[in-house]
A and B are shown apart, each in its own frame.
Chain A
Amino acid sequence: MGNLIKYLIFTLLSASLISCDLDLTGFIRSTDRIEDRFQQSMAYNQNNPINHIISTEENYSVLCASDLHIGKTENAEYLFNLYENSQDLALILNGDLVTGRKENYEVFYNLTKLVSKPLFTTAGNHELYFDGWKYYYEFFGSSTYYFVIETPTEQDLFICLDSGSASLGKSQIKWLEDLLKNERSKYRHCTVIGHTNMLRVKKTTTANSPSQELEYLMCLFTEYKIDLVLNGHSHSRNLTKFGNTNYVITDPLIVGHKNAGYSKIIYKTGEIDIEFIKC
């Protein structure tokens, strides 16, 4: 009986390791450390101006999707075509764009040519597999940056963060803190975007921020009146309001997922509406 259980566990582990397209080297030590990635993102930002998008109306909408996991492209193609022909002002893809291999990056990059409107990306944990950060950087550049949408009378701030390592790291946290301190008061709404879901109100097996970091960020978001936090990663839709901040986990856009979909976020004076839409 004992041996049977051993063989069963061995077979299951072997099967899962063979079937999963995962880079397991990071269990011991990651080569793509968050501090290094942040410095590279900052270097990229210095040579690339902040993106300002103009809205002709006070109310406008943006689309957000995460966990595309390309390889397969059907859902991404659908969303890119939909966005291209819509009134939405921006498309935010917050992490796990690819499964991690270079050929997936190439497929994804070619797919983005379907879109002529603003497209914003951040890195997720999958962007880091198989030494994938260097390809992310080559194709998309920074993963820590901000952009602005200007309406006729107001402007809204969108902050994109690199949370692929579950922790934002010391330097990125300092950057975020300084940005909020210096800039937040100039804007109507503020949205923070990252891949790894900060809150864990449902049980998941994926990593989240360590508790001390989560607590620190929740306080920071309260102090600077962050309206919306957009995450993905757990593949399980969630909307939790804590204080005045909405914490959203979008559905995954991965092909074959039963709830594959994206979110539409409508910005209005005094409120933000969030819609979860199935593909």
Chain B
Amino acid sequence: MLQKLIMRKLYIILILFFCFNFSDTYAQFKLDLYSGMSLNQVEQPALYRLGHSPYFENKNIFAFYNLDLNLNKRNEKAINSLWLNFGYNFNIKEKPLKLSLFYMYKPVSHILNSQNMGLILNYSISKWEFSLGNNTNIYSYLKKAQNTFEITENTRLINALNMMYSIKYLFLNKDKTWNIYLNLSNFNNILIDKEINPMLNFGSFYKFQDKKIKIFMDLWYQQAGLCNIRVNYYGFLLNLGLTWEI
């Protein structure tokens, strides 16, 4: 009940934010549309996804959400994840920084859901982009599951504070019409893993001539056991889509 209330409030804040700022002529609006698949040891045979992410920026503030929908296992869960993000652009000693506050809701199954909240600081220079943050993760039993499995206490599990990081290198200058990049990170808009489970991300994009539309490909490789010093393949995550700058 409390989670639903928080979700509703966040939706209202987001809508109000968009309404108040749409009238401004300097506002910038972007929309990401993508489709993807996840393949790993537990998503069998694969999880097919569809998502969108509207991004809004006005002067120093920006906001976006990312809604990732489940295509092939909708009877288990309709939504894979919802990421809500509010951010602020600022400079320290002429270095451009972005500070984001986010909330991520992830229905795990008909038994559990997961909620993440955190802060991320982003800094980019020429071909590099760095992000560093921290999040807190809570798993909760759904009310229905509590009744089904007679769970009367210990319905929440709070995990240790988790560091979030991303080190991204673009092979070409940012003003080029196309680019490829490599990224080492433990999070993206649909998954936040523990700091000890880094993922390797390879991606590419191409901007069409008027630069209003960009197509992109994003491939994530997941491993298990790096900090056990015995690395095993764990899974892949692929997103293909386009970004439309309105």
- A-side interface residues toward B, CB under 8 Å? 22-24, 26-30, 32-34, 125, 128-129, 164-170, 173, 196, 199-213, 215-216, 218-219, 222-223, 225, 240-244
- A222 and B145 contact, CB distance less than 8 A: yes
A28 is contacted by which of B41, B111, B161, B231 (Cβ under 8 Å)?
B231
- A30 and B155 contact, CB distance less than 8 A: no
> In chain B, residues 24-41, which have Cβ atoms closer than 8 Å to a Cβ of chain A?
40-41
Min distance, Cβ A133 to any Cβ of chain B, angstroms: 10
Min distance, Cβ B153 to any Cβ of chain A, angstroms: 8
11 contacts between A and B (CB under 8 A): A30-B232, A128-B230, A165-B228, A166-B228, A166-B230, A167-B225, A201-B157, A211-B192, A218-B139, A243-B154, A244-B149
Q: Knowing A30-B225, A212-B235, A218-B112 touch, does A169 contact B197 (C-beta < 8 A)?
A: no
- B232 and A169 contact, CB distance less than 8 A: yes
B229 is contacted by which of A125, A204, A242 (Cβ under 8 Å)?
A125
> DSSP class of A's interface residues: helix, strand, loop or mixed?
loop
- Chain A residues near B225 (CB, 8 Å)? 26, 30, 125, 165-167, 207
- B224 and A207 contact, CB distance less than 8 A: yes
- B-side interface residues toward A, CB under 8 Å? 40-44, 108-109, 111-112, 114, 139, 141, 145, 149-151, 153-161, 191-194, 196-197, 222, 224-232, 234-235
- A219 and B41 contact, CB distance less than 8 A: no
- Chain B residues near A204 (CB, 8 Å)? 160, 196
- Chain A residues near B156 (CB, 8 Å)? 242
> Measured between alpha carbons, how far is A61 from B227 in the docked complex, in Å?
34
- Chain A residues near B194 (CB, 8 Å)? 200, 208, 211
- A27 and B226 contact, CB distance less than 8 A: yes
- B160 and A167 contact, CB distance less than 8 A: no
- A200 and B224 contact, CB distance less than 8 A: no
- A199 and B229 contact, CB distance less than 8 A: no
- A125 and B230 contact, CB distance less than 8 A: yes
Closest to A29 in B: B231
Min distance, Cβ B172 to any Cβ of chain A, angstroms: 28
Q: Knowing A27-B226, A208-B196 touch, does A167 contact B232 (C-beta < 8 A)?
A: yes
- Chain B residues near A28 (CB, 8 Å)? 231
- B196 and A240 contact, CB distance less than 8 A: no
- B154 and A242 contact, CB distance less than 8 A: yes
Q: Knowing A219-B108, A219-B109 touch, does A169 contact B41 (C-beta < 8 A)?
A: yes
> Measured between alpha carbons, how far is A33 from B223 in the docked complex, in Å?
12
B197 is contacted by which of A207, A216, A241 (Cβ under 8 Å)?
A207
- Chain B residues near A240 (CB, 8 Å)? 157
- B42 and A173 contact, CB distance less than 8 A: yes
- Chain B residues near A201 (CB, 8 Å)? 157-160
> Measured between alpha carbons, how far is A105 from B191 in the docked complex, in Å?
40
Closest to B43 in A: A212
- Chain A residues near B41 (CB, 8 Å)? 167-170, 173, 212-213
Min distance, Cβ A180 to any Cβ of chain B, angstroms: 14
- Chain B residues near A24 (CB, 8 Å)? 229
- A244 and B151 contact, CB distance less than 8 A: yes
A22 is contacted by which of B154, B161, B224, B229 (Cβ under 8 Å)?
B229
B224 is contacted by which of A166, A205, A218 (Cβ under 8 Å)?
A166
Q: Knowing A168-B41, A207-B225 touch, does A243 contact B192 (C-beta < 8 A)?
A: no
> Measured between alpha carbons, how far is A166 from B151 in the docked complex, in Å?
28
- Chain B residues near A165 (CB, 8 Å)? 224-225, 228, 230, 232
> Measured between alpha carbons, how far is A243 from B142 in the docked complex, in Å?
11
- Chain A residues near B231 (CB, 8 Å)? 26-30
Closest 3 CB pairs of A and B: A167-B224, A207-B227, A125-B228
Closest to B106 in A: A215
Min distance, Cβ A24 to any Cβ of chain B, angstroms: 6
- Chain B residues near A129 (CB, 8 Å)? 229-230
> Measured between alpha carbons, how far is A116 from B145 in the docked complex, in Å?
44
> Measured between alpha carbons, how far is A169 from B226 in the docked complex, in Å?
15
Min distance, Cβ A245 to any Cβ of chain B, angstroms: 9
- Chain B residues near A27 (CB, 8 Å)? 226, 229, 231
- Chain A residues near B228 (CB, 8 Å)? 26, 125, 164-166, 196, 206-207
Q: Knowing A168-B41, A205-B196, A211-B194 touch, does A199 contact B226 (C-beta < 8 A)?
A: no
- A219 and B112 contact, CB distance less than 8 A: yes
Min distance, Cβ B43 to any Cβ of chain A, angstroms: 7
Min distance, Cβ B53 to any Cβ of chain A, angstroms: 21
- A210 and B197 contact, CB distance less than 8 A: yes
